[in-house]
């Protein structure tokens, strides 16, 4: 199949590279000439394990090309995927569809024949209907149809998620769209990946419902963690005890500083806005958002408490800044309000992240960026593990302790146990790991 991918951000670049790896001919289009230039030079605009090698190998085989010219990229396409950003709109939290609709209008004038236009971007319910209306209004070729194909990619594991998916959801209103989408994903039939065909609106809502449910699990276990601290229980064991129930499952039951990233914050808000527009209350999701916002705001208080009630004049080292490991994504990361609150309280903040520094520096003015974890800990009164990067799991804690001025280790990801930390001469504070 001949496929055009509009947008070379996280979703577009990963999806385009993986589809090319299946054997399709894929052209990725982006208006950002600098980004296309970087990709042609072998530099990826995002950090994702395995992506650079995948892109380079498929470019070398001639199956993956990049251009800024949409007319050129879409001229011979069977399907055109829209994978542009849909950030939360300022003021009301609704998904900003400016880039989506602009791409559709430009595409309508570039098409030479009928194609299936596929929304890969996360869009509110009814967006596919509006895209179909715009295409007709702008004179797209007769027979052009619209489908929804939401992505379910985890940053840091996106290539595996695309190639070995739990499910593929396709929202389509006509047989031609179903046939084209089935052919595009035919290579995955060997993996027996479930291909679920639904109506277009159902597919659009499925994406939001999935992310809201996962966000709910995170906020739930974080509240249970607070209760564990109060009663002297261990949230790690509680999570394991309930996660072994296959009706619940163990994933997303890791207590921590709250969720962030490119999806959960904006998608929960967009779902609430859609519900508001249709006059349907979503009390659970609304509470999830409130709990998570409060959670991130409370993390600085944990550090303050570990330092005897005052941050003034203290030095705090932060390990990890990105919202999760194996990505350079800083969007809505818990590290941002944490670092800002620490500095507002009078603390000096030093930080290290394996790949996120370039993205973090503009967001965290005043933070001192260290060359490694040990440098971030040097002279610190407290050390805070914010992101659970693998390289933080086996630190030489004795070396850390010798270089620190104080001895407090605040483990917001529960990657260490108390005994190991205390043997190194540090005091330990985890999340939801209370002691009587």
CA angle centred on 303, ends 300 and 305, rounded to 5°: 110
High-pLDDT (> 70) share of the chain, %: 99
Nearest to 167 by CA among 208, 197, 211, 147: 197
Residue for token pair 């914010």: 386
Same domain? 7 vs 123: yes
Same domain? 190 vs 79: yes
Domain extent at residue 374: 264-429
Q: What is the pLDDT of residue 94?
A: 81
Domain for residue 259, yes or no? no
Q: Are the C-beta atoms of residues 95 and 86 closer than 8 Å to each other?
A: yes
Domain for residue 15, yes or no? yes
Helix (H) or strand (E) segment spanning residue 287: helix 283-306
Domain for residue 241, yes or no? no
Domain boundary among 180, 198, 216: 198
Same domain? 29 vs 156: yes
Read off the pLDDT of residues 303-323 as tens digits, 9 standing for 90 and up. Answer: 999 999 999 999 999 999 999
Same domain? 295 vs 154: no
Q: What is the pLDDT of residue 377?
A: 98
Q: What is the pLDDT of residue 192?
A: 77
Confidence of residue 284 (pLDDT cuts 50, 70, 90): very high
Domain boundary among 176, 198, 220: 198
CA angle centred on 424, ends 421 and 428, rounded to 5°: 30
Residue 401 CA, chain-centre distance (Å), reads 33
Domain for residue 374, yes or no? yes
Domain for residue 352, yes or no? yes
Domain for residue 129, yes or no? yes
Same domain? 46 vs 126: yes
Read off the pLDDT of residues 326-347 as tens digits, 9 standing for 90 and up. Answer: 999 999 999 999 999 999 999 9
The stretches of 119-234 forming alpha helices (DSSP H) are: 127-137, 158-163, 175-184, 200-231
Would residue 28 show up in a list of annotated catalytic residues for this protein?
no
Same domain? 175 vs 71: yes
Q: What is the pLDDT of residue 189?
A: 77
Confidence of residue 89 (pLDDT cuts 50, 70, 90): confident
Same domain? 279 vs 381: yes
Read off the pLDDT of residues 42-66 as tens digits, 9 standing for 90 and up. Answer: 999 999 999 999 999 999 999 999 9
Nearest to 115 by CA among 54, 177, 69: 177
Same domain? 106 vs 188: yes
Same domain? 273 vs 180: no
Read off the pLDDT of residues 131-143 as tens digits, 9 standing for 90 and up. Answer: 999 999 999 999 9
Calpha distance 57→168 (Å, rounded):
25
Domain for residue 404, yes or no? yes
Give the domain CATH number at 319: 3.40.50.720
Read off the pLDDT of residues 158-203 as tens digits, 9 standing for 90 and up. Answer: 999 999 999 999 999 999 999 999 999 999 977 777 899 999 999 9
Same domain? 20 vs 155: yes
Most confident segment among 86-90, 93-97, 306-310: 306-310
Domain boundary among 198, 215, 232: 198
The number of domains in the chain is: 2
Supply φ then ψ for residue 95, to 5 degrees: -65, 130
Among 18, 28, 228, 263, which one carries the catalytic annotation?
263
Domain for residue 237, yes or no? no
Same domain? 15 vs 163: yes
């Amino acid at each position: 199949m001949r496929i055009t991918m509009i947008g070379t951000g996280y979703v577009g670049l990963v999806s385009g590279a993986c589809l090319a790896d299946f054997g399709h001919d894929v052209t990725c289009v982006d208006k950002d000439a600098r980004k296309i230039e970087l990709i042609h030079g072998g530099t990826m605009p995002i950090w994702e394990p395995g992506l650079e090698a995948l892109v380079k190998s498929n470019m070398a085989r001639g199956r993956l090309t990049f251009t800024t010219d949409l007319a050129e990229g879409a001229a011979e396409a069977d399907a055109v995927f829209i994978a542009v950003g849909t950030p939360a709109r300022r003021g009301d939290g609704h998904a900003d569809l400016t880039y989506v609709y602009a791409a559709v209008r430009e595409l309508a004038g570039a098409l030479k024949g009928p194609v299936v236009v596929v929304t890969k971007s996360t869009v509110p319910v009814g967006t596919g209907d509006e895209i179909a209306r715009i295409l007709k209004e702008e004179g797209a070729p007769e027979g052009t149809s619209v489908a929804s194909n939401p992505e379910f990619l985890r940053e840091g594991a996106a290539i595996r998620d695309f190639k070995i998916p739990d499910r593929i959801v396709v929202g389509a209103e006509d047989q031609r769209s179903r046939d084209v989408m089935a052919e595009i994903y035919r290579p995955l039939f060997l993996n027996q990946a479930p291909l679920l065909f639904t109506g277009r609106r159902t597919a659009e809502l499925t994406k939001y419902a999935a992310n809201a449910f996962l966000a709910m699990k995170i906020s739930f276990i974080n509240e249970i963690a607070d209760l564990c601290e109060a009663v002297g229980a261990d949230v790690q064991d509680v999570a394991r005890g309930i996660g072994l129930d296959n009706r619940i499952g163990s994933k997303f039951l890791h207590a921590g500083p709250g969720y962030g990233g490119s999806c959960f914050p904006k998608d929960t808000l967009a779902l609430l806005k859609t519900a508001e527009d249709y006059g349907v209350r979503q009390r659970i999701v609304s509470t999830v958002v409130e709990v998570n916002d409060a959670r991130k705001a409370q993390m600085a208080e944990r550090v303050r408490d570990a330092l005897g009630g005052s941050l003034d004049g203290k030095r705090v080292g932060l390990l990890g800044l990105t919202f999760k490991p194996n990505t350079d994504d800083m969007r809505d990361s818990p590290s941002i309000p944490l670092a800002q609150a620490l500095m507002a309280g009078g603390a000096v903040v030093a930080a290290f992240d394996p790949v996120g520094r370039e993205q973090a520096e503009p967001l965290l003015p005043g933070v001192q960026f260290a060359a490694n974890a040990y440098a971030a800990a040097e002279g610190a009164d407290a050390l805070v593990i914010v992101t659970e990067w693998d390289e933080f799991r086996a630190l030489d804690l004795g070396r850390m302790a010798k270089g620190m001025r104080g001895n407090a280790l605040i483990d917001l990801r529960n990657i260490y146990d108390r005994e190991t930390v205390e043997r190194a001469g540090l005091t330990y504070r985890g999340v939801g790991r209370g002691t009587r």
